[in-house]
Structure 1
Amino acid sequence: MMNNVQIAKGVYSVGAVDWTMRDFHGYATPRGITYNSYLIVDEKICLIDTVKAPFGAELLERVSQIVDLTKIDYIVCNHTEPDHASALPMVMEKAPQAKVVLTAQGKESIIKHYQKDYDFQVVKEGDALDLGRNQLKFITLPMLHWPDSMASYLTGEEILFSNDAFGQHICTSNPFDDENEIHDIMQEAAKYYANILLPYTRLVGGALKKAETVPIKMIAPSHGVIWRSHITDILKKYEQWGTGYHDDTVVIVYDTMWGATEDMARRILEGVAASGAKAKLHRLKTSAMSDIMNDILEAGGVILGSSTQHNTVLATMGGFLSYIQGLKPVNKLGAAFSAHGWAGGAQKILENSLEAAGIKVESSELALKWVTSKDEKEQCFNFGLEFAKKVQANKK
């Protein structure tokens, strides 16, 4: 028997837990991933999202222990990305009578992905399905984080099926927030926001206003645990992140060839610490980019450093520059430093990339040759000190 969990009257968690997954298209997932799916058994039977295709058989087994698959009336696709929807064809083979409920953009995506023209029911903001005791109302969330994204709200039980919003990449044997270590859950929720939702920060405020219009007893996301005891906490965090909240932390990210750039990074960190601000240091060869972005999310300052190689940055730094430009962290102060041999070039590339990421750049003039002299070590320290003071002055 599979371990189905009833989370409310007539509502079951029937998804899958991928304990061994360690990478989600470049996002490090040391705690694994869940693909959450929910079954509502009312006068009408409704499945909220499916799972990633390799877990399709597991989903079907879980659901079939509760209801006959041929009795499913609706399958709601809140979001059509394959981690949520690629098991849909398997489910539809067993439940061909079901209507597939989704947005117009979702319909287009499903048809293109699977070359199937199911019995679609396209919904828009404010539409509802009458399930019997409860209604399922739809809240469109375009670009949080795909054009098709929406959430579904179950009246009566007052559950918000939020899809990617409020998610975390973490596997547990217990499905609720209050059955787990809340520090770990909140840390993974922050990391999820920093690496998935950060580019769409300007849209978060509007989404939260929609959520405020309904009473919520439970938030059931498509990844991670279900929120029931810390709903206020996670809503407050999303409000903070959506307004660009930051503290006085300065995150220094670097990579080095022969150690000069690393020496500069450590001297700059000492200067930051001397100001009383918090400092965090990451070397790209040993830190996952998703973990770095987790630290950057609430940091006020970002300093990047790289050796110059072939008149440009090191390849590890090049990858990170692409990553941070795509995520576009808001309300940060940035700077760059570099070490080089016969010719430089890395520092200007770093500064231009910070600007392209929407980060205000503070010029450092820290492009040093070969190894750091005593005076240059002091220059790095003083720059870290003064940079941190500016971050502290800009603290929100």
Structure 2
Amino acid sequence: MSFKINNTVTWVGKMDWELRKFHGEEYSTHRGSSYNSYLIKDEKTVLIDTVWQAFTKEFIANLEKEIDLKKIDFIVANHSEIDHSGALPELMRLIPNTPIYCTKTCAKLLKAHYHQDWNFVEVKTGDTLEIGKNKLMFIEAKMLHWPDSMFTYLTGENILFSSDAFGQHFASELMYSDKVDSEGLLYEAMKYYTNILTPFNPLVKKKIEELLSLGLPINMICPGHGIIWRDNPSEIIKTYLEWSKNYKEDQVTIIYDTMWNSTRRMAETIAEGLKEIEANTTIKILSSSKYDKNDIVTEVFKSKAILIGSSTINKGILSSTAAILEMIKGLGFKEKKAAAFGSYGWSGESVRLITEELTKAGLEVVNEGIREEWIPGEAGLDRCRDFGRNFGEKIK
């Protein structure tokens, strides 16, 4: 499959309809994904990125339908990660002397991945490559999301090839932002940002501000994964800027796991009390053992506050709760309030342990949490409602 974006640029990537996990088992891709590769035909011919290694043969065969491989003058590697560079070894076997334009770090990482010393041309922000009527301008984008990442801007056509920035795991034959479900697209873009870019918020903010300051006219943003931004593409750039500023909505997310439903009952009752105080606030209750972990942390990203609960087990916390806490800690959320809750039988360490992890994660823990022994009765549920009311007052 390939399709013309315009008379100069053709998409020659791979649509992966079946993909359901990415980064090993770490990222859920409910809508599949795409590995976007772009062929630019001017007086010179340029290939921007390739596809995941598993699709190498298909990619090469498809590319040969578009062009004699020996007529590719330059290759641009915006990012070395294997989902974008995986077909390079086979491509370079066929056209071994073709220059590869990339950042200095990208060249280093490509050598580390494939142990080949190809014809690398190292570039930095502001460097350009004349290709005929148009030219390419390179913009380093360190930690969006790897240290080697860069953007490539095609003048004349005013297209920004943005690598992983502004991408989403979203497979669609429609391919353009003005043709797909806009709500679903924005959610997948937010999920991608949350799970991939949140730890680098300060760097994202700085780079987006730098990009905007260049004043480049942008007719289209072509990311490394997912849908091409064609309808008012600068809007997603501004949205990234907002997301980079420790984003939050008027939402509280309650995350729990439970053994015999006592902690679940606590979660629901805390929500009742919270709703009395925060009547217009969106409150979501999510089971960490039943709900997708990447979708959970996306809801955390949207939230101004979170509550996390677990039963005590073996003087610890349930494994799904521990996993979510580890993800929250790694993503480095800021300016969010938090507290812990949980049920127990005899030792009751879970609330203390969750509180410690929330503190390590850099969240503002507003109280010492609440724990209830065995199955909470009416008095215990009243305490949970009061806890919810108190939490609501502290997050106003």
TM-score per shorter chain, which class?
Answer: over 0.9
1:356: which partner in 2? 360
1:16: which partner in 2? 14
SS class of match (1:363): coil
Whether contact under 8 Å (1:139, 1:210) holds in the other structure is no
Gaps of 5+ in 2: none
Task: For 2:120 and 2:62, locate their aligned partners in 1 and report how far apart those are by CA, in whole Å.
Answer: 24
Q: Read off the aligned partner of 1:129 and give its amino acid letter.
A: L
Q: Read off the aligned partner of 2:107 and give its amino acid letter.
A: K
The 5-angstrom pairing of residues 141-220 of structure 1 reads: 141-212=141-212, 213=214, 214-220=216-222
What is the aligned-residue identity percentage?
39
**Are 2:263 and 1:261 aligned?**
yes
**Are 2:306 and 1:302 aligned?**
yes
Q: Read off the aligned partner of 1:65 and give its amino acid letter.
A: K
The structure 1 segments of at least 4 consecutive aligned residues displaced by more than 3 Å after TM superposition are: none
2:288: which partner in 1? 284
Q: CA deviation at 1:280?
A: 0.5
Which digits, 9 at most, give the CA deviation of each residue in 1:183-230, with x for residues without a partner? 111110011111111111111221112321111110000011000104
Q: CA deviation at 1:366?
A: 0.4
Task: For 2:33 and 2:15, locate their aligned partners in 1 and report how far apart those are by CA, in whole Å.
Answer: 6
Which digits, 9 at most, give the CA deviation of each residue in 1:76-96, with x for residues without a partner? 111111111111101112222
Q: Read off the aligned partner of 1:204 and give its amino acid letter.
A: V
Q: Read off the aligned partner of 1:118 and give its amino acid letter.
A: W
Task: For 1:365 and 1:166, locate their aligned partners in 2 and report how far apart those are by CA, in whole Å.
Answer: 38
TM-score (norm 2): 0.96
SS class of match (1:162): strand
Task: For 2:235 and 2:385, locate their aligned partners in 1 and report how far apart those are by CA, in whole Å.
Answer: 38
SS class of match (1:178): coil
Q: CA deviation at 1:365?
A: 3.4
Q: Read off the aligned partner of 2:242 and give its amino acid letter.
A: Q
Point out the more displaced range, 281-290 or 207-216: 207-216
2:85: which partner in 1? 85
Q: Read off the aligned partner of 2:63 and give its amino acid letter.
A: V
SS class of match (1:46): strand
TM-score (norm 1): 0.96
Gaps of 5+ in 1: none
Count of residues paired in the alignment = 390
**Are 2:324 and 1:320 aligned?**
yes
1:270: which partner in 2? 272
Task: For 1:203 and 1:379, locate their aligned partners in 2 and report how far apart those are by CA, in whole Å.
Answer: 43
The 5-angstrom pairing of residues 103-114 of structure 1 reads: 103-114=103-114
SS class of match (2:79): coil
2:36: which partner in 1? 36
2:245: which partner in 1? 243
Q: CA deviation at 1:364?
A: 4.2
Whether contact under 8 Å (1:254, 1:304) holds in the other structure is yes
Task: For 2:386 and 2:161, locate their aligned partners in 1 and report how far apart those are by CA, in whole Å.
Answer: 50
1:375: which partner in 2? 379
SS class of match (1:338): strand
Q: CA deviation at 1:9?
A: 2.7
Which digits, 9 at most, give the CA deviation of each residue in 1:12-58, with x for residues without a partner? 11100111111113111110111111111111111111110111122
Q: CA RMSD in A?
A: 1.3
